Structure 1
């Protein structure tokens, strides 16, 4: 089985590996050894291991590998409704992938100054924001801080895409922070300082059915 590498990093890994082989074949041992080292480093940098997803249907999954920095009450930047905000600082050594916190549809995507000229909510300043809606009608919002360098963000998901629980959204860059807004009625079990893994660890759980059921027939 091949070593699992994120799609965004394959060209760098394969290209460097081929350069290493060619360099060694031409007898440049030191340069070839250096390129082999770089190829291995890139392989580890862009690793993307498959992880078991917890069975809880309404469980809120960690969107990235990292440490929970803070939990507080806030307002969802897309819906304007009360929410609970969870900030996660990515681990310095990755993985750097971004995963969906719940099965949902991407209803809005905002990258101020690049993909959109509209003035964003102040909470999204310098960030790429994604708004999701679950089948139960719950809103979850996600934002990547783009103010940290080096910045290498690749999120090919488009508005209208339906994404499964814990499924990969793309590459989230190196060592930044990820903010998740969940409904204020959600139960949040994560605690500041907790280390979490994307798509594998639970941050909490959404409440039950939200959408109003059809009115019962009158007798």
Structure 2
């Protein structure tokens, strides 16, 4: 397992501290019933920023899900970030999913590309090309190229990516985070064999999206 911090994502610590202090102050000044909505906000923030460790499948050739959520696309498209035909598999994350992003394969990062954009519903196909997004293009030791793209959503307003060109990633390794609802698009070689279909629920790292 690759797990660099406690079970609550470090990105959430300021939000948790702030909501907890506000809830305590309101409870002290006005009582628990008045403060109940604030405590509900605190619980929501707590569940949103959970980031549990995950076992990493050892199957050779497996391409792992980079995010928790629901499959909303499995289709042949053009990968605009690596300029090639590709199989795209998209994972939509709602506000109740874990939002830590994990590497789907082992490899070396060729490029990291950020694009400003809109914040339309990430469940829509046009979000892949119109929304704010951050693409990581990675080359595996076997000569395969995999592109994974963090896409902001209607509520998501902050994409966090902690890797740069030249870095190496191991599958299952945590590389980024998206705050408050979004999607991740994965572009694979056209000969990759999908292991999921539209509507499937997937978990970051533990679910195999496809196989080389």
1:180 and 2:186 equivalent? Answer: yes
Which residue number in structure 1 is paired with residue 31 of structure 2?
29
Q: What is the CA–CA distance in structure 2 between the aligned matches of 1:60 and 1:15, rounded to whole Å?
A: 38
The normalised TM-score by structure 2 is 0.81
SS in 1 for 2:148: strand
1:83 corresponds to 2:86 = yes
Per the alignment, in what secondary structure is the counterpart of residue 40 of structure 2? helix
Q: Of the candidates 147, 158, 164, which is equivalent to residue 152 of structure 1?
A: 158
How far is 1:60 from its partner? 0.4
> Structure 1 residue aligned with 2:14, among 11, 15, 21?
11
Q: Distance in 2 between matches of 1:22 and 1:3?
A: 26
User: Within the alignment, does 1:169 sit opposite 2:171 as a pair?
Assistant: no
Q: How far has the Cα of 1:22 moved from its partner?
A: 4.8
Aligned residues: 196
4+ aligned runs moved over 6 Å, structure 1: none
| Change over 3 Å in CA distance of 1:50–1:147 after alignment to 2 | closer
| Corresponding residue number in structure 1 for 2:120 | none
**Are the aligned partners of 2:153 and 2:183 in contact in 1 as well (CA < 8 Å)?**
no
Matches within 5 A, 1:191-206: 191-206=197-212
C-alpha offsets along residues 29-59 of structure 1, whole Å, 9 cap, x if unaligned? 2355444332222111111111111111321
Which one has the bigger strand percentage?
A: 2
Establish whether residue 105 from structure 1 lines up as the match of residue 105 from structure 2. no
Q: Which blocks of at least 5 consecutive residues in structure 2 are unaligned?
A: 118-127
TM-score by length of 1: 0.79
Q: Is the 8 A contact 1:124 1:143 kept in 2?
A: no
Contact kept in structure 1, 2:68 and 2:99, CA below 8 Å: yes
Question: In structure 1, how many angstroms separate the alpha carbons of the residues matched to 2:191 and 2:57?
Answer: 21
Q: Which runs of 5+ in 1 are unaligned?
A: 115-122, 207-219
- Whole-angstrom CA distance in 2 between matches of 1:150 and 1:78: 22
> For 1:124-139, what aligned pairs fall within 5 Å after superposition?
124-126=129-131, 127-139=133-145
| Contact persistence 2:156–2:182 (CA under 8 A) | no
How much has 1:3 moved relative to structure 2? 6.9
8 A contact 1:100–1:169 mirrored in 2: yes
> Residue by residue, what CA displacement relative to the aligned partner does 1:146-177 show, whole Å, maximum 9, x if unpaired?
35234232222222221211111221233322
More off after superposition, 197-206 vs 12-21: 12-21
> What is the root-mean-square deviation of aligned Cα atoms in Å?
2.4
Q: Please state whether the residue corresponding to 2:172 is helix, strand or coil.
A: coil
Structure 2: how far apart are the matches of 1:180 and 1:124?
A: 13
Moved more, 53-62 or 90-99: 90-99
Match of residue 123 from structure 2? none
Q: Structure 1 residue 72 and structure 2 residue 78: aligned?
A: no
